[in-house]
Structure 1
Amino acid sequence: MLDANLKTQLQGYLTRLQQPIELVAALDDGAKSAEVRELLDEIVALSDKITLREDPTGSARKPSFVVQRVGQPMGIRFAGIPLGHEFTSLVLALLQAGGHPPKVDADVIEQIKALPGKYAFEVFISLSCHNCPDVVQALNLMAVLNPNVSTTMIDGALFQNEVEDRQIMGVPAVYLNGELFGQGRMTIEEIIAKLDTGAAARDAEKISAKEAFDVLVVGGGPAGSAAAIYAARKGIRTGVLAERFGGQVMDTLGIENFISVKATEGPKLAMALEEHVKEYGVDIMNLQRASALVPVDGGIEVKLENGAVVKSKTVVLATGARWRNMNVPGEAEFRTKGVAYCPHCDGPLFRGKRVAVIGGGNSGVEAAIDLAGIVAHVTLLEFDSQLRADAVLQKKLRSLPNVDIIVSAQTTEVTGTDKVNGLKYKDRVSGEEKRIELEGIFVQIGLVPNTDWLKGTVNLSPRGEIEVDAKGQTSLPGVFAAGDCTTVPYKQIIIAMGEGSKASLSAFDHLIRTSAA
């Protein structure tokens, strides 16, 4: 199951085990159970602190296995074969069950330990999903720290009957005590916040009590991270408000145009950004959504949805962008019930089915190419009269036998009952209304800036982008902006970083000039 290189790496990690652990397997006579047994045997052979035993009655899901300390049951179960993106989840579970300290703030650990009640989580994942491991790892850690928490990772492709019964059409899908708890990527802080209902009020009180910052960055993506680092390096008091540190980068799988880095993945880059920002002692306030920007004497106030107010002498807006919706009937109703936005995450759930991709740019064509290798058939619909993707991508797409391309197509409605069963579109040439029967729709039509909360405060373009000058200055003195939320062309990670650095330097220049005056 594991190649020699991976075994060597894993063996090195397992030397960090401080306490003996055991793997308890629930297996049957199937081929997948044999693969799990092979994987577990290989792991056991790498450390004398790991033992394996079988308990056929331990779970109705076979194959599955539990990771726990010897003599101390823990609620960590893997139902399936945790390879692919989930191999890291398995490694961390082994280490943490074996006593290796987690890299989590002490406050978070105390919150987890103090959670009242019983929590039985189930996480449906796909092994190609790059967002799923974050959720699996967060819940595994909670199970290590709190005996009242149990969690099971379930490979949706392996336990397809459960996926069908629960009508799961998007991963990660998290169930708590049998009820849907959440879908999509969630950090451990976000999960705790949903369980600890008093956390928001406590956070608001702490945040409001903070002294005024010299530079406050709103947004934790590439632009915001760069702005924070450049400000902190000047030795001034710097804070970051982030709804989700990493921003849109967290939803990006492959990154191959970040200069000097041949290839990486979005979550890895986001983690590196956060670690770099933390090195400079920046005050990071994560999971915070801004609701208003208010100029006051001596600076700016940023109001948050939880009621907190953050004060600063200058502000850098780096709120990024989000997936653009089609805004047609049925889209919102059937989101996670057939309407999806991440082909890498949710594609495996549509294996053998018919799907559509909306959008003929690079993202749409790349999605169609990826999906064609999984699903039965892909129909790509483009509003324009021709595809806008790079020629090499179009050539690849047209070579695939299970792909149809429809241009001049305006999607008008998503149809379905309990889940998607088709879509309607208008032929923009003939005016004819048409319908396609399918079971999944992947929307890939670009991004919309996260600037709704700024209307009436700073000048916005007709597209909702923050208007900035060559130095990143907005229409409001002391407020600068950078990245995908601005009018700067070409929404690229490397451009956002440059613009974030520039906006931060401009904010510092503003501080110098206003304090001198």
Structure 2
Amino acid sequence: MLDTTMKSQLQTYLQKVTQPYEIVATLDDGEKSRELWSLLSEIAEVTDKITLRSDGIDERVPSFAFKRAQGGASLCFAGIPLGHEFTSLVLALLQVGGHPPRVSDEVIEQVSELEGEYHFETYYSLSCQNCPDVVQALNLLAVLNPNIRHVAIDGALFQEEVDRRQIMSVPSVYLNGEPFASGRMGVEEILTKIDTGAAQRDARKISEREPFDVLVVGGGPAGAAGAIYAARKGIRTGVAAERFGGQVLDTMGIENLISMAETEGPKLARALEENVRDYNVDIMNLQRASALLPAVEPGGYHEIRFDSGASLKAKTVIVATGARWRELNVPGEKEYRNRGVAYCPHCDGPLFKGKRVAVIGGGNSGVEAAIDLAGIVGHVT
């Protein structure tokens, strides 16, 4: 399953595992079960911290779960997490084994203190570039809090289940058996939805900040560049964004960006954020601007208000809110979004296997989508 290079890289990563644990697989005699067992066997071969078992009794086959001797870490993969989800698998292997996650102590504390029982199910496809963020975020929650369970499900392998729940876009997340959310989400966004007081607490903290010299509204490439250039001059700079990375996060392939032949949108967005943080720029994520109140007097502070109830002041405001995907604005489009109306053929295509699909758009993007779908669906118009 893994080539020599991937095995070598995996062995290097798994040296960071400090706590032993078991991987318990639920299998049958099918081809996919044999493929999964082969993958898990290769993983277990490169470290003595992981023990492999095949006596699982999960309802989904093939699947595998993580089991620590001291309990906790209730997470499971139903399917074979390769493609875009291989990174999710590697991170799960590390975090279950005690490697510290790359989130703030404040977030770890917030997750650990969540009360109640949370059973998350995430449906993904191996070609979806938006799915790994959601899978990784929910896996992390399951690692940090024993009351949280997460199952990541490959929709292409469990088509009957997908059809029964009428899932027509990925990632789609269920919580305790009910629809929870769809689309890209990170840890902070998920916490905002399940920790009902989090948004209000964050809004208060943001409003208490001192006025900035420069406040950038928008977290895409333009906003990131503006923030970096301001901060390099020693100017106190902040960035407020609905989601840092902007539309870049939804872009699968980016080519011929200066200095790199090709990259992926989420990878570029992470690099942008790291670069901005290197200059101690204050990044305030999940903040959608709703109003700009200009300064009353020359030299005064402008005020930005947000949907969350927060507000910020700054001497200079840079508006870099970018663009959004174009919509048709026809009857039924919003009502059936993620229920038959989709915008990402790479992500959602596998869910329409064998079905008749119409692609709206005659430009190069439309043609590319039709070609990609032709190998999956029954018919493309």
**Aligned partner of residue 256 in structure 1, secondary structure:** strand
Distance apart, 1:303 and its partner CA: 0.6
Counterpart contact for 2:192–2:199, Cα < 8 Å: yes
Please name the residue that 1:359 is paired with: 361
Q: Distance in 1 between matches of 2:275 and 2:172?
A: 31
How far apart, in 1, do the equivalents of 2:236 and 2:56 lie? 58
Partner of 1:100: 99
Please list the CA deviations of residues 213-258 of structure 1 after superposition, one character each: whole Å capped at 9, or x if unmatched.
0110000010010011001001010000010010000000011121
Checking the alignment, whether the CA contact within 8 Å between 1:357 and 1:364 is kept in structure 2 is yes
Question: For residues 2-21 of structure 1, what are the structure 2 equivalents within 5 Å?
Answer: 2-21=2-21
Deviations 1:163-187, CA, capped at 9 Å, x for gaps: 0000000000000000000001111
Matched, 1:293 2:292: yes
The 3-state SS of whatever aligns with 2:260 is: coil
Q: CA deviation at 1:73?
A: 4.2
Match of 2:317 in 1: 315
Equivalent position of 2:373 in the other structure:
371
**Structure 1 gap segments, 5+ residues each:** 380-517
2:122, 2:174 within 8 Å by CA — same for their partners in 1?
yes
Q: How is 1:164-175 mapped onto 2 (pairs within 5 angstroms)?
A: 164-175=163-174
Which moved further from structure 2: 325-334 or 167-176? 325-334
Distance apart, 1:373 and its partner CA:
2.1
Q: Distance in 2 between matches of 1:28 and 1:294?
A: 63
| 8 Å CA contact retained: 1:36, 1:81 | yes
1:74 aligns with 2:73: yes
Q: Which segments of 5 or more consecutive residues in structure 2 lack a partner in the other structure?
A: none
Q: Residue 209 of structure 1: CA displacement?
A: 1.0
The SS at the match of 2:273 is: helix
| Higher Cα Rg, which structure | 1
Contact 2:216 2:227 in 1 (8 A): yes
Three-state SS of the structure 2 residue aligned to 1:322 is coil
Q: How does 1:262-277 map to 2 (within 5 A)?
A: 262-277=261-276
Distance, in Å, in 1 between the alignment partners of 2:187 and 2:52 is: 29
* Partner-residue secondary structure (3-state), 1:78: strand
SS at match of 1:262: strand
Residue of structure 1 in register with 2:40 after alignment: 40
The one-letter amino acid of 1:21's match is Y
What's the CA shift string for 1:379-409, capped at 9, x where partnerless? 1xxxxxxxxxxxxxxxxxxxxxxxxxxxxxx
- Would you say the 8 A contact 2:56–2:64 is kept in 1? no
The structure richer in strand per residue is: 1
User: What is the percentage of aligned positions where both structures have the same residue?
Assistant: 70
Paired position in structure 2 for 1:221: 220
Question: Which residue of the partner structure matches residue 337 of structure 1?
Answer: 339
Instruction: Output the amino acid matched with 1:25.
Output: A
Inter-partner Cα distance in structure 1 for 2:376 and 2:258? 31
State the AA in 2 paired with 1:327. N
One-letter amino acid of the structure 2 residue matched with residue 232 of structure 1: A
Looking at structure 2, the residues matched to 362 and 277 of structure 1 have their Cα atoms a distance apart, in angstroms, of 33
Do 1:68 and 1:74's aligned partners in 2 also have CA atoms closer than 8 Å? yes
* Aligned pairs (5 A) from 1:51-130: 51-57=51-57, 59-130=58-129
Query: Whole-Å Cα distance in 1 between the matches of residues 357 and 287 of structure 2?
Result: 35
Preserved CA contact (<8 Å) 1:28 1:56: no
8 Å Cα contact 1:257-1:263 kept in structure 2: yes
What's the TM-score, normalizing by structure 2?
A: 0.98
Counting only pairs closer than 5 Å after superposition, residues 177-326 of structure 1 correspond to structure 2 as 177-296=176-295, 297=297, 298-326=300-328
Distance in 2 between the 1:67 and 1:37 partners?
A: 14
Equivalent position SS for 1:358? coil
Paired residue secondary structure (1:339)? coil
The 2-side partners of 1:231 and 1:218 are apart by 13
Between 148-157 and 361-370, the greater mean CA deviation after superposition: 361-370
Match of 1:441 in 2: none
CA distance in 1, matches of 2:321, 2:15: 42
C-alpha distance after superposition, 1:181-207 (max 9, x if no partner): 000111110000001111111111111
Counterpart of 1:388 in structure 2 is none
- Matched with 1:131 is 130
Counting only pairs closer than 5 Å after superposition, residues 336-485 of structure 1 correspond to structure 2 as 336-379=338-381
Deviates more, 1:132-141 or 1:47-56: 47-56
Deviation of the 1:54 alpha carbon? 2.1
CA gap of 1:153–1:30, structure 2 versus 1, over 3 A, is: same
Q: Distance in 2 between matches of 1:56 and 1:267?
A: 34
| 1:70 Cα offset (Å) | 3.0
**Structure 2 SS opposite 1:150:** strand
Q: What residue in structure 1 maps to residue 27 of structure 2?
A: 27
Q: CA deviation at 1:323?
A: 1.2
SS at match of 2:257: coil
- Amino acid of the structure 2 residue aligned with 1:191: I
For residues 209 and 161 of structure 1, the distance between their equivalents in structure 2, rounded to whole angstroms, comes to 51
Amino acid at match of 2:21: I
Q: Number of aligned residue pairs: give it.
A: 378
What is the Cα deviation at residue 133 of structure 1? 0.5
Q: Indicate the SS of the match to 1:25.
A: strand
SS of 1:76 mapped into structure 2: strand
| Larger mean Cα displacement after TM superposition, 85-94 or 362-371 | 362-371
The amino acid of 1:354's aligned partner reads R
Counterpart CA distance in 1 for 2:206 and 2:302 is 15
Q: Shift of the alpha carbon at 1:359?
A: 1.1
Which whole-Å deviations, capped at 9, do the CAs of 1:300-342 have from their partners, x for residues lacking one? 1001112111000001111111111111111112111110011
CA shift for structure 1 position 377: 1.8
Q: CA deviation at 1:260?
A: 1.8
